[in-house]
A = this chain, B = another copy of it.
Amino acid sequence: MLRLSRLTDYAVVALVRLGRSDGVATTPGIAAAIGIPEPTVAKVLKALTCAGLVLSTRGAHGGYRLSRPLAGISIAEVIVAIDGPIALTSCVDGAVGCESQSLCPMAGRWDPVNSAIRDALTNITLADMEDAAIPRAFRVAAPVPVNEEI
């Protein structure tokens, strides 16, 4: 299925959410807003902090905020932050442990594929996804339309 982890999906939602809140946002706040259990959101945000995509402030009145605008964050970065390096097979570049590495006829075979995927993902930013996410016909050049009922 070539699927990435659900956590990455959550990360994108959380990031877009952060892009809409002006100040800092707390874990419970984000969790409630996007309908994902709080500890899971915390886990995702922790990973994003480590990757430098969001900045955290500890203590009371703390929370998270974006380190860059959404347009400056590529999907590839999010995936790497949550899922680890982008490589379709476990048998990547310098990876050791491929049991039949010597006679493995596909050594290096996937490299061009990996590169192609990486390129594709690097060229899509969170801002692009935010645009694509709104299925309604309402969308009219609003820069940050926080149109979420409920």
Contact = CB atoms under 8 A, between A and B. Distances in A.
A108 B83 contact: no
A107 to B, nearest CB: 6
A interface majority secondary structure: loop
A34 interface: yes
A12 B79 CA distance: 25
Interface residues of A, number: 52
A150 B88 contact: no
Interface in A99-150: 100, 103-113, 116-117, 119-121, 123-124, 128-130, 132-133, 135, 146, 148, 150
A75 interface: yes
Interface in A1-55: 1-6, 9, 12-13, 16-17, 34-35
